Amino acid sequence: MKHNRFEWRVAFLLLFGVFLVGSSWPAATRADGGERLVLAFYYNWFDENSWGPNKVPDQPAPPYVSRDRAVMARHIDQAKGAGIDALVVSWYGPREQNNQTETNLRAMLDEAAARGFRLAVDFEATSPFYRGAGDVQAALKTLIATHAQHPAYLRWNGKPVIFFWRQQRFNTGTWAAIRAAVDPNHDTIWIEEGVDVTPLSVFDGHHLYSVTWNPPSDMAYTANKFAKRVRDYAARSGVPKIYVATVMPGYDDRKTR
């Protein structure tokens, strides 16, 4: 899980630009009739036990706990000051017991609304609270009915946006059944992750969580390669798809490998 691999990434990890991939390329889109989006992943699971010289190679200044609403407000203000339009917040599902990603997300949506900011969910398909596809389906149903309806939830062309992590846990057929059950009319936008674009038969868009896995990294080459894959898929299927380009300034996770 990212919780273990990237626990030291305190706030802003990736930046994205959103593009609509259709019959022509490139065609920049606009969010909610406005700006091109810049997004960053955000993790809201840190507590008193997260920090220390023997736990992470880098320390936030100051150390914090994610449940502190003053911290949420400060991080939102920092994101806005950095030109970020929305944070994509990891979420383990609607269960509250031993799951601060749910309670913290609820509070952070309210803090975002008070500051004219937006949040989206990064749906963690490998959450420890999901025993199987049924639990994932139930969690998505709850997400769409609750958090995705919040005024501060990120919408693109009027539709709530949901990112996915490790959707590879299930095959495309299982995801098709889940989507048919919880969002048959595609009233939300689902963005899958990874090097395989086959899930675009179910999902609306594609992104790469990391573009540094092939050192020496040529991020422009990688971005263009996957943009073409998404573009080609859209052309074959006749259905427009979204490519979310990954930018990773200053990223270095060598000490956590």
Q: How far apart are the first and last CA of the chain?
A: 13
- Amino acid 18: pLDDT: 40
CA atoms within 13 Å, Cβ hemisphere of 89: 32
Contact 178, 141 (CB under 8 A): no
Cα 215 from chain centroid? 24
User: Reduced to 3 states, what is the DSSP secondary structure of residue 28?
Assistant: strand
210: exposed, middle or buried (Cβ count in 10 Å: 0-12, 13-18, 19+): middle
- Amino acid 214: pLDDT: 63
Neighbours of 138 (CB within 10 A): 16
- Amino acid 27: pLDDT: 38
- Amino acid 67: pLDDT: 96
- Amino acid 212: pLDDT: 75
- Amino acid 119: pLDDT: 98
Q: Residues of the chain with pLDDT > 70: what percent?
A: 81
Tokens 């300034």 belong to 249
- Give the span between the Cα atoms of 36 and 32, in whole angstroms: 9
- Give the span between the Cα atoms of 113 and 36, in whole angstroms: 20
Low-confidence ranges of the chain (pLDDT < 70): 1-35, 214-217, 249-257
What CATH code is assigned to 2-256? 3.20.20.80
Cis peptide before 63 (omega within 30 of 0): no
- Amino acid 229: pLDDT: 96
- Amino acid 49: pLDDT: 85
- Give the span between the Cα atoms of 126 and 63, in whole angstroms: 27
* DSSP letter string, 68-110: -HHHHHHHHHHHHHTT--EEEEEE--S--TT-HHHHHHHHHHH
- Amino acid 156: pLDDT: 93
